[in-house]
Structure 1
């Protein structure tokens, strides 16, 4: 097994991470197993719905957002979970979401 750190999703060519704020992560269960097909919602600081994506077959998700405080809410048949991420500027900001019944 390779000891390299997890690399996450590939960012599309043409995305300048020096200017864009990218929120990325993986939906996992309590054992750390990826949860594919989870609905991942992005909520702003006041809790208002902003966007939603479906996690990939490996549980990965990605949003393009502005700096600030965001809530990530994952909904799946394996349970739900919430995490907060607060990027202060451009770049790739990783935050996994763990779901539980």
Structure 2
């Protein structure tokens, strides 16, 4: 997937009242180039785990066919764990009401 200025990320936020929600979402890409442009193939059926600030399991979702995922989470610090064939990647993310955390994660 190569883009021309558009930023790929999580699913559309149309219809979601962000004044009442904190959202962590994004897209998982494989085999991208590190040239500042999101490249690579979307990783379908990867699993994304959401851990709380104490490292406790909270939720898990699979990515869709476009490599996208979404969590509705309480505001605060979270850890995402990306699980895909041959890959385990952790990253810290912060959720805030009204400001979606829209991530592009290359593996």
Work out the number of aligned pairs and report it. 98
Q: Determine if the alignment matches structure 1 residue 64 to structure 2 residue 72.
A: yes
Unpaired runs of 5+ in structure 2? 33-38
Moved over 6 A (4+): none
TM-score, structure 2 as length reference: 0.78
Deviations 1:40-83 (A, max 9, x none): 00001110000000001111100000111111111111412111
TM-score, structure 1 as length reference: 0.82
- Whole-Å separation in 1 of the counterparts to 2:8 and 2:59: 24
The alignment's C-alpha RMSD in Å is 2.0
